[in-house]
């Protein structure tokens, strides 16, 4: 406890002792004071009336009434003054208590104001922290969204890549295992490439062509190893003419796959040539050469290059039909 607080408590005790020592203001004292004034007024009025006559003065003096009346007045005044003193003491005590209560309340108000100021400071600091946290949260949210998107894209990409790889292996296994054996060897490659373009491989290849080179090599290797078709110097007319010998149903299928409007076919020289060859009625080298002279198609292909061309034209066709987004 500080010296100041000790002094304050000592003062408080002294005031309390003083207040407790004051007589209690009884109702009787209040009435004796207020009503006593009216009683005194009555006596004073009578005294004034009696004092004007010599006879009444003598009678009152002889009978002692004037002295008795004066005694009543004095007693009332004395009691009234005593009541006034006690009333004043009580009022003073009450004022002291009220003033001290006011001081206490003022002190509390001051503390409350200080507390509110402190609270405002804390609030402002907290508000800033909240704002910073909000900004950080927004940054983190954005970062998380980006990372989430990135991860989702990565997962999608991995999934697509995996699907593409699986489809490529499945198609080549099917090809190698004789799944397309009823077709001519080069039509088999065309059909494998067509299936891959339409499937997950084509979707992934539009985004990432990483397996395209591998595909072309795999086509070349399979043609050579399984079908005995050389990797180099593959005459265009020779493998094209084999289409003429395909069964009618196969030709119909090929037409269904390749048939398109003229403008599109103009940008797909190899496939438009294949359409024309399919429509030939007989296996004629002359007719074949005639067709080849009309289109811009190399006369000799490497098997790898051929697969590249077929795949590329297949992709263009699908894109034109709005099936793949490159």
Q: Which stretch binds other proteins (CB under 8 A): 58-66, 156-164, 237-245, 278-286?
A: 58-66
Question: For 178, which DSSP code?
Answer: T
106 in contact with other proteins (CB under 8 A): no
User: Pairing state of beta strands 234-235 and 300-301?
Assistant: antiparallel
Give the DSSP letter string of 209-227. GGGHHHHHHHHHHHHHHTT
Residue 75 Cβ, how far from other proteins at the closest point, in Å? Answer: 6
Q: Which stretch binds other proteins (CB under 8 A): 25-33, 165-173, 181-189, 217-225?
A: 25-33
Of 84 and 143, CB closest to other proteins: 84
Of 51 and 166, CB closest to other proteins: 51
User: Which runs of consecutive H residues, i.e. helices, occur in the chain?
Assistant: 3-21, 27-51, 54-63, 65-176, 185-198, 200-207, 212-225, 236-241, 248-258, 262-266, 269-278, 285-294, 303-320
43 in contact with other proteins (CB under 8 A): yes
Q: Which of 9, 16, 18, 75 binds other proteins (CB under 8 A)?
A: 75
82 in contact with other proteins (CB under 8 A): no
Residues 6+ apart with CB under 8 A from 17: none
Of 43 and 212, CB closest to other proteins: 43
Calculate the alpha carbon distances from 185 to 120, 192, 238, 311 in Å. 86, 11, 12, 16
Residue 124 Cβ, how far from other proteins at the closest point, in Å? Answer: 13
Tokens read off for 325: 């987004």
Q: Which of 15, 19, 22, 46 binds other proteins (CB under 8 A)?
A: 46
319 in Cβ contact with 326 (< 8 Å): yes
Q: Which of 11, 14, 111, 135 binds other proteins (CB under 8 A)?
A: 111
Backbone phi, psi, residue 315, to 5°: -65, -40
d(CA 78, CA 73): 8
Residue 156 Cβ, how far from other proteins at the closest point, in Å? Answer: 52
Q: Which of 6, 16, 45, 131 binds other proteins (CB under 8 A)?
A: 45
d(CA 41, CA 31): 15
Q: Which stretch binds other proteins (CB under 8 A): 71-79, 178-186, 275-283, 305-313?
A: 71-79
Residue 8 Cβ, how far from other proteins at the closest point, in Å? Answer: 15
Neighbours of 39 (CB within 10 A): 15
Of 66 and 303, CB closest to other proteins: 66
Q: Which of 18, 34, 151, 300 binds other proteins (CB under 8 A)?
A: 34
C-alpha count within 13 angstroms, C-beta hemisphere, residue 99: 8
209 in contact with other proteins (CB under 8 A): no
Contacts with other proteins by CB under 8 A lie at 25-28, 30-36, 38-39, 41-43, 45-47, 49, 62-65, 68-69, 72, 75-76, 79, 94, 97-98, 101, 104-105, 108, 111-112, 115, 118-119, 122
């Amino acid at each position: 406890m500080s010296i100041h607080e000790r002094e304050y408590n000592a003062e408080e005790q002294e005031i309390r002792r003083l207040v407790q020592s004051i007589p209690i203001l009884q109702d009787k004292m209040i009435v004796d004071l207020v009503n006593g004034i009216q009683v005194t007024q009555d006596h004073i009025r009578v005294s004034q009336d009696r004092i004007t006559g010599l006879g009444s003065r003598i009678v009152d003096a002889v009978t002692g009434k004037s002295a008795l009346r004066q005694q009543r007045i004095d007693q009332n005044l004395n009691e009234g003054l005593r009541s006034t003193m006690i009333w004043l003491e009580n009022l003073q005590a009450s004022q002291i208590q009220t003033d001290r209560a006011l001081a206490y309340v003022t002190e509390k108000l001051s503390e409350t104001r200080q507390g509110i100021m402190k609270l405002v400071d804390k609030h402002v600091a907290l508000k800033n922290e909240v704002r910073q946290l909000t900004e950080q949260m927004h940054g983190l949210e954005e970062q998380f969204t980006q990372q989430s998107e990135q991860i989702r894209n990565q997962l999608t990409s991995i999934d697509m890549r995996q699907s593409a790889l699986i489809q490529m292996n499945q198609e080549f296994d099917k090809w190698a295992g004789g799944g397309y054996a009823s077709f001519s060897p080069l039509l088999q490659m065309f059909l494998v490439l067509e299936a891959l373009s339409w499937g997950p491989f084509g979707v992934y290849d539009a985004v990432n062509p990483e397996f395209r080179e591998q595909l072309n090599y795999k086509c070349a290797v399979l043609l050579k190893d399984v079908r005995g078709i050389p990797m180099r110097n593959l005459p265009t007319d020779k493998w094209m003419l084999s289409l003429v010998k395909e069964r009618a149903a196969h030709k119909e299928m090929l037409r269904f796959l390749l048939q398109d409007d003229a403008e599109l076919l103009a940008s797909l020289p190899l496939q438009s040539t294949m359409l024309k060859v399919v429509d030939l009625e007989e296996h004629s080298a002359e007719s074949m050469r005639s067709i080849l002279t009309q289109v811009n198609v190399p006369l000799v292909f490497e098997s790898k290059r051929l697969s590249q061309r077929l795949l590329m034209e297949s992709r263009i066709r699908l894109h034109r039909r709005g099936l793949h987004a490159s």
